Amino acid sequence: MASASLVFKEADSTYSSTLLKHAKQLFTFADKHRGIYSENIPEVATYYNSTGYGDELLWAAAWLYHATGDNSYLQYATGQNGEDYAQFGSPTWFSWDNKLAGTQAKGLSSSYGSGLQNYRKTAEAVMCGLLPDSPTATESRTDSNVLLHLLLVSLSLFHFPYLINILLIVSRLSRCLSL
């Protein structure tokens, strides 16, 4: 909702404000009532199982910071929650179930200062892995050199923020050319 509020900011400021208000409320609720939804509603696990919630909280905090400029969201992502959930250095792809690489790439879209240095390093490693000639290129490719992870991500693009994040990642790929 926070990302959608940015889309509607100029065209419909009232709707944008409503989206942002509800994004903040939902974030507060999710942070207060942490847990994996598929453990509480086991019937959905067969179809839409979740493996965690920390990535969702960091993803939401990153978008809320981007939409509001409120430093409390930045502190949320870079403080203890970042240490607890970000898995710096290990995310290798972005998907509906794991938004850590996306959150870390999102952290590059503004000049946050040194607070997101770990996010930046991980995001650059993920993005460099997408280039076939990069020294750190992922081996998860088809015979035609198509990235399997990007194919899986594109098949799961049923949420607008995912598309925005993929565009952010693609826009950052040029950093890898200077290795």
For the chain (179 residues), the mean pLDDT of every run of 10, in chain order, is: 90 95 96 89 82 84 91 86 63 61 57 56 66 66 53 46 53 49
Boundaries of every domain in the chain: 54-178
Can you give the pLDDT at residue 176?
52
Q: Are 178 and 117 in contact (CB under 8 A)?
A: no
Can you give the pLDDT at residue 159?
47
Q: How far is CA 76 from CA 10, 48, 66, 81, 149, in A?
A: 28, 27, 13, 6, 28
Can you give the pLDDT at residue 29?
96
For 24-73, give the DSSP string: HHHHHHHHHT-S-HHHHSGGGHHHH--S-SHHHHHHHHHHHHHHH--HHH
Three-state DSSP at 114 gives helix
Q: How far is CA 85 from CA 25, 68, 75, 103, 104, in A?
A: 21, 22, 14, 11, 12
Please tell me the pTM assigned to this model. 0.59
Give the position of tokens 């409390």: 72
Can you give the pLDDT at residue 151?
45
Gyration radius (Cα) of the chain, Å? 17
Q: Which residues contact 29 (CB under 8 A, 6 or more apart)?
A: none
Q: Which amino acid is at 138?
A: T
